[in-house]
Amino acid sequence: MTVFEYGGGGSTLFFLSKVRRVHTVEHDKEWFESIEGKIKSRYGNNWDGIFVSPELIETTDAQRYSDPTQYTSSDNQFINFSFKKYAESIDKFPDNYFDLVMVDGRSRPSCLWHGIPKVKPGGLLVLDNSERDYYLQDSQLLNAINTKFNVMESSHSPQPFSSHFTTTTVWRKIGNHTK
């Protein structure tokens, strides 16, 4: 099983103990270096860590976080930053390559948009914090997901180490698949 994840951390460690290969893109250099040291010493060649820093942009346009072509983040510390290269980091892989694409980082609508064609038929697309309405407000993005995937699970549950509840949605890509 091969996994691509936007945003590394606990899920990275979980997947590395279960699958053949994990590719992780991370935008936070300090966090990336922290997990890189821990992962490489324990898992070696099973992990491909990709660091992509957001780029400062000048814009007078209103940022629409739900628009996958805007490559923006709703986090105030990233106003006027583009996550285009971050979201596009999956594009170096062929279509229908990954068994699972996990979206749990920045610019999630953009990451979903780039991740959709990379999931194998029968593979999974996972969106963490899917209760945030703007992630799935764009009609083109929603149509792309709904025509290529079926919802497998959407559960609202407590968030670890927090008093908040969050929703994770899992879709399975439509089509024939082999084991």
β-bridge pairing 2-6 and 165-173 = unpaired
Confidence band for 145, pLDDT divided at 50, 70 and 90: very high
Please name which of 56, 74, 57 lies closest in space to residue 65, comparing C-alpha atoms: 74
Q: Are strands 21-26 and 2-6 parallel, antiparallel or unpaired?
A: parallel
DSSP state of 129: T
pLDDT reported for residue 139: 92
CA atoms of 105 and 108, how far apart (whole Å): 6
The answer, yes or no, to whether residue 62 has pLDDT greater than 80, is: no
Tokens of 3: 């996994």
Contacts of 136 (CB under 8 A, 6+ apart): 66, 109, 127, 130, 142, 145
> Which superfamily does CATH assign the domain made up of 2-173 to?
Vaccinia Virus protein VP39 (3.40.50.150)
Highest mean pLDDT among 8-22, 48-62, 114-128, 133-147: 114-128
Does 179 score more than 60 pLDDT?
Answer: no
Beta strands in the chain (DSSP E): 2-6, 21-26, 47-51, 55-56, 81-82, 98-103, 119-128, 149-158, 165-173
Strand segments (E) across 53-147: 55-56, 81-82, 98-103, 119-128
Q: Is the pTM of this model over 0.85?
A: yes
Is the confidence at residue 153, as pLDDT, over 90?
no
- pLDDT confidence tier of residue 141, bands split at 50, 70 and 90: very high
Pairing of strands 165-173, 119-128: antiparallel
Dihedral, CA of residue 24, residue 26, residue 104 and residue 11, to nearest 10: 50
Q: What is the pLDDT of residues 124-133, one digit of tens each?
A: 999 999 998 8
Token pair 């209103």: residue: 62
Instruction: State residue 177's pLDDT score.
Output: 61
